[in-house]
Chain A
Amino acid sequence: MKAVGARLPRYDGVGHVTGQTQFVDDVRVREMLWAKALRSPHHHAAITRMDTSKAEAMPGVEAVITHADVPLLEYGHLSALGIPADEPLLAKDEVRYKGQPIALVAAEDADTARAGVEAIEIDYEERPTLFDVRKAFDDDAPTVHRWGNWYPHFEGEMDRRQIRKGNIEEAFEAADTIVSGVYRPAAIEHAPLETQVSMVVPEPDGRLTVYSCTQALYFSLGVMAAHLQVPLNRLKVVGGTVGGGFGGKVDTASETVTALAAMKANRPVKWRWTREEEFLASSTRAPWHMEIIDAVTSDGWILGRKMLTLHDSGAYARFSPYGLTKHSFHHTGAYTIPNLHFDGYVVFTNRVPTTAMRGFGVTSVSFATETHMSRIADVLGLDPFEVRLKNANRINDTSPNMITYPDPSTVDVVLSIAEATDHSLDDAYMSMSRAQRSGDMLPEHLAAQIGEGHEHASLHALVHGVDNDSEGN
């Protein structure tokens, strides 16, 4: 443990300040082609005709890639978790969001590639669009996805992520007051300074060297191998230097199509998105719609929670079913509520697909639950710190998905915020600890939920198989 407490310079600090750190765009190879994409100008449309022959015939254009060039057009990022594929690598007969890639042109320079893109003849037939998750369930809502307007493939082919715990009816009958709130955080673009970029170099031995800005190198490897239908050992993915990711570089955004162009042209190809493309077509943090209805007592205990979440997935599923699952596990925030009724839907809209960002699925629910805690205190005329401390997770309390908390830190965090903000509290609260509930802090409604040891729900184990490191900075 020599590093703990020590002042360690960043291993890459000197490289960064001298300009020697090599980002993907900085890698130099000979004979490299530049790629530009044809992207959908419409939010939702059928592609009725596409002709790339003029682009292919242009001097300087070395490869034009469309859906027809992709060995396996659809592959799900989370196939390993049983989430089926729904998104074509390049659009075939339908575009479902503005900016969706349709074709890639690789040429001697960027201007020629752009001219090639403009030479592609394509006709669209616009279709009705859906942007508001609340309208997705209406009878007259346009259908925006081939599975319908919400993801239907949770375990057991359920169309929602559902949590039922305790007895919600009894909780609401016993309540003194009902406090409800609706929370709608908006989409956020990660806006890394380095836009999506990859360069693929065909090697003489038939392999491909793939330089990628990915923050999830093994995802990229697996996703590419699947689309390209090649064994993993044909791909050497070089990553590790990411010019900012924040979750937005988890999706395998550019390297697979770049690889197809490099294979077709048999030359190195680089595809770097412009800043405009980054804002238009790179995935964002999802907008969420969350409705919370709590059964509370006048002295500030939360007996039960009903919650409805609509997770705006954008046009395709990508990681959203997983994000919603994490969200559902955290829908009580850092607090213990014994009776729960949670329904969450992954809703499809004609927006850019959404993805991880700094606490995938959890940041949204933290915002909602923390705001709601203060709202409860406000409605009841109680101190917001005290309401939090009462309901705070304690050792051996259980989470919505029946995990027993071995060592939760809510009490300590709330107390230190009280201290930092000079908020005075009664001694009974000041001396509170994370120890297992007892006495006044163990009212009858919380007795039954106390768990023993560490029971991992099978769903949790399943999801946590990919939890680590896949969405870090």
Chain B
Amino acid sequence: MNITLNGVSRQISSPPLTPLLRVLRNELNVVSAKAGCEAGGCGACTVLVDGRPQRSCLTAVGSLNGAAVTTLEGLGTSENLSAVQQAFVHHYAAQCGFCTPGMVVAATAYLDAGGSDDKEAIQEALGGHVCRCTGYLKIVNAIAAAATQSEFDLTITAEEPNVVVKTGGR
């Protein structure tokens, strides 16, 4: 079977009942979606299936033949961050970063579907996503900001910073 992963057609050889999360991580080596619970409870594994957010840990890959799957890797790169990604950095919405892939994916789907900066609506849309670090406020603020703004200033504002911003992997 086949899926289109982040715009590229990929052959899948895992058995059809394999959860999409394991196919992504173990067969295709695309690891942004995280295994926080593998039981639908945390949201860290969320990816877009035909543009809609879905728990990859609960999705048997056999149901996806021909579908378009988008992971965090498909939403923006360190050189070309999306508005949601920029807002998450600017508003410190990613602390340990483990929930972040699911949060950014779900937030992107929310805004793509016409979601506004209404904070209650944002909370409702992301109500299934657990973050243990931030207390959620920064995440909601970031999404609200991304709803109204397309660019964020990510530069360091101290004159001679002694902190180097790392972009890209390690």
The answer to whether A and B touch directly, with their CB atoms under 8 angstroms apart, is: yes
Hey, which bits of chain A sit against chain B, CB under 8 A?
2-3, 5-23, 25-26, 28, 190-195, 241-246, 272, 274-275, 473
Q: Cβ of A7 and Cβ of B157 under 8 Å apart?
A: yes
> In the complex, what residues of A have CB within 8 A of residue B106's CB?
none
Chain B interface main SS type: loop
Q: Cβ of B73 and Cβ of A11 under 8 Å apart?
A: no
Beyond A9-B89, A28-B29, A275-B41, is A20–B96 a contact (Cβ under 8 Å)? no
- In the complex, the chain B residue whose C-beta lies closest to that of A275 is B37
Is B72 an interface residue when CB atoms closer than 8 A count as contact?
yes
The CA of A195 and the CA of B44, in the complex, are separated in Å by 12
Of the listed stretches B48-56, B59-67, B129-137, chain A binds B129-137
- The smallest C-beta distance from B94 to any residue of chain A, in angstroms, reads 4
Is B165 an interface residue when CB atoms closer than 8 A count as contact?
yes
Q: Cβ of A243 and Cβ of B98 under 8 Å apart?
A: yes
Q: Flag B63-97 by CB within 8 Å of A: 1 or 0 each.
A: 00000000111001110010011101110101011
> In the complex, what residues of A have CB within 8 A of residue B8's CB?
none
Is B104 an interface residue when CB atoms closer than 8 A count as contact?
yes
> In the complex, what residues of A have CB within 8 A of residue B168's CB?
14-15, 20
- Which of A12, A25, A246 is B166 in contact with, Cβ under 8 Å? A12
> In the complex, what residues of B have CB within 8 A of residue A21's CB?
97, 169
The CA of A2 and the CA of B160, in the complex, are separated in Å by 7
Beyond A17-B100, A242-B96, is A3–B158 a contact (Cβ under 8 Å)? yes
Interface centre among A8, A16, A17, A22 (most CB of B within 10 A): A17
Is B42 an interface residue when CB atoms closer than 8 A count as contact?
yes
Beyond A3-B158, A194-B36, is A17–B94 a contact (Cβ under 8 Å)? yes
User: 8 closest A-B pairs (Cβ-Cβ)?
Assistant: A19-B32, A6-B158, A16-B97, A243-B98, A16-B94, A19-B72, A13-B89, A275-B37
Q: Cβ of B35 and Cβ of A25 under 8 Å apart?
A: yes
The CA of A192 and the CA of B90, in the complex, are separated in Å by 23
Q: Cβ of B94 and Cβ of A193 under 8 Å apart?
A: no
- In the complex, the chain B residue whose C-beta lies closest to that of A21 is B97
> In the complex, what residues of B have CB within 8 A of residue A26's CB?
31
- The smallest C-beta distance from A11 to any residue of chain B, in angstroms, reads 6
Q: Cβ of A9 and Cβ of B156 under 8 Å apart?
A: yes
Q: Cβ of A192 and Cβ of B72 under 8 Å apart?
A: no
> In the complex, what residues of B have CB within 8 A of residue A11's CB?
163-166
- The smallest C-beta distance from A285 to any residue of chain B, in angstroms, reads 14
- In the complex, the chain A residue whose C-beta lies closest to that of B35 is A25
Can you list 15 A-B pairs, Cβ within 8 angstroms, ordered by A? A2-B158, A7-B156, A8-B158, A8-B161, A16-B88, A16-B89, A17-B89, A18-B72, A20-B168, A23-B97, A26-B31, A195-B36, A242-B96, A274-B38, A275-B37
Q: How large is the interface on B (under 10, 10 to 19, 20 to 34, 35 or more residues)?
A: 35 or more
Q: Cβ of A20 and Cβ of B78 under 8 Å apart?
A: yes
The CA of A265 and the CA of B88, in the complex, are separated in Å by 42
Is B99 an interface residue when CB atoms closer than 8 A count as contact?
yes
The CA of A8 and the CA of B25, in the complex, are separated in Å by 32
> In the complex, what residues of A have CB within 8 A of residue B167's CB?
14-15
The CA of A241 and the CA of B86, in the complex, are separated in Å by 21
Q: Cβ of A2 and Cβ of B162 under 8 Å apart?
A: yes
The CA of A58 and the CA of B165, in the complex, are separated in Å by 49
Interface centre among B35, B96, B158, B160 (most CB of A within 10 A): B96
- Which of B32, B73, B156, B159 is A8 in contact with, Cβ under 8 Å? B156
- Which of A13, A22, A191, A274 is B170 in contact with, Cβ under 8 Å? A22
Is B154 an interface residue when CB atoms closer than 8 A count as contact?
yes
Interface centre among A190, A193, A272, A473 (most CB of B within 10 A): A193
Q: Cβ of B157 and Cβ of A244 under 8 Å apart?
A: no
Q: Cβ of B88 and Cβ of A194 under 8 Å apart?
A: no
Q: Cβ of A193 and Cβ of B42 under 8 Å apart?
A: yes
Q: Cβ of A13 and Cβ of B44 under 8 Å apart?
A: no
Is B39 an interface residue when CB atoms closer than 8 A count as contact?
yes
Q: Cβ of A244 and Cβ of B98 under 8 Å apart?
A: yes
Known: A17-B89, A18-B76. 9 other contacts (CB 8 A): A10-B89, A10-B92, A11-B163, A14-B85, A14-B165, A19-B73, A28-B29, A245-B96, A275-B38
- In the complex, the chain A residue whose C-beta lies closest to that of B22 is A110
Q: Cβ of A192 and Cβ of B132 under 8 Å apart?
A: yes
The CA of A283 and the CA of B35, in the complex, are separated in Å by 20
- CB contacts under 8 Å to A, within B145-163, are 154, 156-163
> In the complex, what residues of A have CB within 8 A of residue B77's CB?
18
The CA of A244 and the CA of B37, in the complex, are separated in Å by 14
- Which of A7, A193, A246 is B98 in contact with, Cβ under 8 Å? A193
- CB contacts under 8 Å to A, within B19-43, are 25, 29, 31-32, 34-39, 41-42
Q: Cβ of A6 and Cβ of B32 under 8 Å apart?
A: no
The CA of A19 and the CA of B90, in the complex, are separated in Å by 16
Beyond A6-B157, A28-B29, is A14–B166 a contact (Cβ under 8 Å)? yes
- In the complex, the chain B residue whose C-beta lies closest to that of A192 is B132
Beyond A243-B97, A244-B98, is A15–B161 a contact (Cβ under 8 Å)? no
Q: Cβ of A193 and Cβ of B132 under 8 Å apart?
A: yes
